[in-house]
Amino acid sequence: MGILSLETQNEALLTKWLWKLDRDSNGLWAQTMSILYGITNTQQLLPNINYSEFARSICHLLPFYRVATIPDEFFPIIHWKFTTHGNFTTSSAYAVLHDRGIRCPLSTIIWKLKVSHKVRIFIWLLLRGRLLTQRRLWSRGCQVPSGCHLCMNADLESSKHLFFQCPYAMGFWRMLLFRFNITFPPTNPTRVQDLWYMIRKGLDKPAIRIWDTVWVSGCWAL
Ligand SMILES: [Zn+2]
């Protein structure tokens, strides 16, 4: 088993603690979280610097967990999407985190890039519009301050804006492309993943490898 698989296995095991918090509310773990932080389910869980290191590490898996579950407003109890019986299994979480559960053409590329696994998951969530932006937090009833801190746009921050439509992001991409001598696509892309794909189509194999890494690093830096 390589380093990547161990990382993925660890994340699958951490995801199990999120599941236990929702599904085993009388269990020792849920009671501990309730006593320590007043939290009884994952909906109340938000990244917090006052949490223990372990609690903070499971918070990193929250965006993935929210993609992977159907909340109890649709079923009598919370439902895991990637097993037929709707119950969590570590192996199904591992398969999805390792991208054997869901596939899209771009995600197969992402999973092969030589970047840290943390960055892969981040890009994977970006491609699926699942990053915890202000827009998504508000849709979940979490009233965080709104507006882009970079361009002072007052609208709720979305992935589209943050990674591409913000004048700051656009300037960043133009500068980066200029540095790597890559031409900006003549047809204006509207999302950062369209920019990636449009440029990719016109490159040869060695250049594609460089562009993939530049794009992923650019998204991570923004
Ligand atoms: Zn902005």
User: Are 121 and 74 members of one domain?
Assistant: no
Quick check: 34 pLDDT over 90? yes
Q: How far is the CA of 150 from the centre of ligand 1 (A)?
A: 5
| 199 and 111 in a common domain | yes
For residue 68, pLDDT over 70 is answered with yes
Q: What spacing in Å lies between the alpha carbon of 220 and ligand 1's midpoint?
A: 16
Residue 101 has a pLDDT of: 47
pLDDT computed for residue 2 by the predictor: 46
Mean pLDDT calculated for residue range 15-40? 92
**Is residue 199 domain-shared with residue 142, that is, in the same domain?**
yes
In DSSP terms, 70 is beta-bridged to 79
Q: 71 and 128: one domain?
A: no
pLDDT of residue 113: 77
Residues 169, 216, single domain; the answer is: yes
71/135 same-domain check? no
Domain check: are 118 and 15 in the same one?
Answer: no
Q: How far is the CA of 137 from the centre of ligand 1 (A)?
A: 17
Phi-psi region of 216 (alpha: psi -120 to 50; beta: other; left: phi over 0): alpha
The parent domain of residue 55 ranges over: 3-97
CA of 113 to the centre of ligand 1 (A): 28
Cα separations in angstroms, 25 against 29, 39, 43: 8, 10, 13
Rounded to the nearest angstrom, the distance between the alpha carbon of 173 and the centre of ligand 1 is: 14
Same domain membership, residue 133 and residue 216:
yes
Query: Ligand 1 centroid vs 184 CA: distance in angstroms?
Result: 20
Ligand 1 geometric centre to CA of 159 (Å): 10
Same domain as 84, residue 30:
yes
Question: Do residues 197 and 155 both lie within one domain?
Answer: yes
**Do residues 26 and 54 both lie within one domain?**
yes
Residues 111, 216 within the same domain: yes
**Residue 30 Cα, ligand 1 centroid: separation in angstroms?**
39
Q: What is the dihedral of CA 209, 212, 214, 219, to 10 degrees?
A: -170
Q: What is the distance of C-alpha 94 from the center of its chain? A: 15
User: 146 CA distance to ligand 1 centroid (A)?
Assistant: 11
SS3 186: coil
Examine the fold and report which residue of 64, 97, 130 is the final residue of a domain before the chain moves on. Answer: 97
Q: How many residues does the chain have?
A: 222
Domain C-terminal end among 97, 123, 157: 97
Task: Out of 70, 97, 124, pick the residue that ends a domain.
Answer: 97
108-164 confidence digits (pLDDT tens): 677 777 787 778 878 877 877 777 777 777 776 777 777 888 887 777 778 888 888
State how many domains the chain has: 2
Between 195 and 97, whose confidence is greater? 195
Q: What is the mean pLDDT of residues 8-14?
A: 90
The answer to whether the predicted template modeling score (pTM) of the entire model surpasses 0.95 is no
Is the pLDDT higher at 133 or at 178? 178
Q: Catalogue the long-range contacts made by 30-39 (C-beta closer than 8 Å, 24 or more residues apart).
A: none
Neighbours of 41 (CB within 10 A): 17
